[in-house]
Structures are given as C-alpha cells and as structure tokens.
Amino acid sequence: MSARGPTLERMSSPISLAALEPVLKRILVDTVQMFRPGPQVLNEDTGEYDPGPDVILWEGLGAVFSAGGPGMVMSLAGQSYQDDTRNRYQLLTWLDAPVASRDVCVRVTAATVDQGLLNRVWRVLDLSQAQTLAVVRTTWMDEVTQQSSAAQAIQPAREAHTPPF
C-alpha cells in the first residue's frame, strides 16, 4: 500500500464523461463559430475600406446562456471610468473545442430552439476556463450586437418618416 492509500490510486485514471454524453447532446444543440474579423479590403469604387471576410477559427456545437442582465456603469461628467461589460453571457462547448482567446468573436449560425440567437455576435472576455474536473468548456463573453436583425430591418423605414427637425 502506498502513502496515498488505495482509494487515491484507483482514482488516478481520467474521469469518463460517457455517462454525461446523452445529457450534453441535449444541451449543446446550437452551431457556433469562433472567428476574428478579417482585414479590411479597399473598395475601389468608393475609395473606402470595407470589412474583409471573417477568419473562422472553429465551428461546432455549443450553447449560449445569459449570465445576468445588463450591467450599469455610473460616472460623473468628465470623469473617466472603466467600461464594464453590459451583457454577460457564457458559451458552453465540448471539451475538444479550442480554448478561446480574449477578443475572439463568437456567432450563432444555427439555433435549434431560440431563433433570437441567430447571427448575434459576442466578444470573448478572457481565455476559456480550464479545470481538472471539467464537463464542458466555459467561455465568458460580452455581447457586441446592438440590434436584432428585426430592429435593423425596421429602422430604415422609421428614418424615412422622421421629421427633419
């Protein structure tokens, strides 16, 4: 018998997540992309730079969860303050998904249940969490999207009817 005892020796093998796989398959149901915005491209017709195509870093199954409501930042006029995240979310992915770096962007490209997730974009706040007893990879995010696609479609119609004053 070793100094650690027989129980610890038996527990030294990796934990099998096979029993949790059916549950995780029911949770990680949306298709998400991790990407970086591509380099800007010169539009020769306008002479301006347009956003280039995104550089896709990874795409796979995941789930997005809200981790609280919008935050509030109070400041005095003229005083500087650190901008706090407004809409904190968590991205859950399988453990074989890459560890996301700060400022990588995340987009939902296929939503199984809530279509309100489609094409919304989040910014990764810090490296994905890594743990000894991890079941899924957790990544903290802040939402970048400011309007839903429905609101964007309505806005031009409202601007057409806005009085000029």
User: Per-residue confidence at 161, pLDDT binned at 50, 70, 90?
Assistant: very low
Q: Which residue has better confidence, 99 or 87?
A: 99
For residue 143, the one-letter residue type is E
Among residues 77, 60, 62, the alpha carbon closest in space to that of 137 is found at: 62
Residue 154 phi/psi, 5-degree rounding, is -80, -35
In a domain, 1, yes or no: no
What pTM value is reported for the model? Answer: 0.70
Q: Does 123 map to a domain?
A: yes
Q: Is residue 164 part of a domain?
A: no
Tens of pLDDT, residues 11-39: 444 667 788 889 999 999 999 999 999 99
Domain count, the chain: 1
Please, which residues have CB within 8 angstroms of residue 154's CB and are 6 or more apart in sequence?
none
- At 81, phi and psi to the nearest 5? -150, 155
Using CA atoms, how far apart are residues 77 and 74, in angstroms rounded to an integer? 10
pLDDT in tens, 100-138: 999 899 999 999 999 999 999 999 999 998 888 888 999
> Strand, helix or coil at 9?
helix
How far apart, in whole angstroms, are the C-alpha atoms of residue 75 and residue 36?
32
Residue 142 has pLDDT above 80, yes or no: yes
Dump pLDDT digits (tens) for 37-96. Answer: 999 999 999 999 998 999 999 999 999 999 865 555 556 666 655 555 567 899 999 999
Q: How far apart, in whole angstroms, are the C-alpha atoms of residue 161 and residue 163?
A: 6
- Residue 3 maps to a domain: no
Cβ-count burial 80-99 (b if 16+ within 10 Å, e if not): eeeeebebbbbbbbbeebee
Q: Domain of 107: which CATH number?
A: 2.40.10.270
31 in a domain, yes or no? yes
Domain-located, residue 78: no
